[in-house]
A = this chain, B = another copy of it.
Amino acid sequence: MTNPIAEKRDYEEELRQAGVRITRPRRIILGILSETEDHPDALAIFRRAVALDSSISLSTVYRTMKLLETVGAIRRHAFEGGPSRFEQAGGAHHDHLIDIETGDVVEFRSDRIEKLQDEVARALGYEIVHHRLELYGRKLRSK
A48 within 8 A of B: no
A110 on the interface (CB 8 Å rule)?
Answer: yes
A138 within 8 A of B: yes
A interface with B by C-beta (< 8 Å): 78, 80, 97, 99-100, 106, 108, 110, 112-113, 116-117, 120-122, 124-140, 142
Please give the count of copies of this chain that the complex contains.
Answer: 2
Which of B113, B116, B121, B142 sits near A125, CB closer than 8 Å?
B142
* CB-based contact A129/B138 at 8 Å: yes
Contact between A131 and B133, CB atoms less than 8 A apart: yes
| In the complex with contacts A108-B120, A110-B120, A124-B106, A129-B140 CB distance below 8 A | no
Q: Is the CB of A135 within 8 A of B117?
A: yes
Instruction: Please judge, given known A-B contacts A80-B132, A133-B133, whether A126 and B113 are in contact too, CB under 8 Å.
Output: no
What residues of chain B lie closer than 8 Å to A121, measured between beta carbons?
Answer: 97, 135, 137
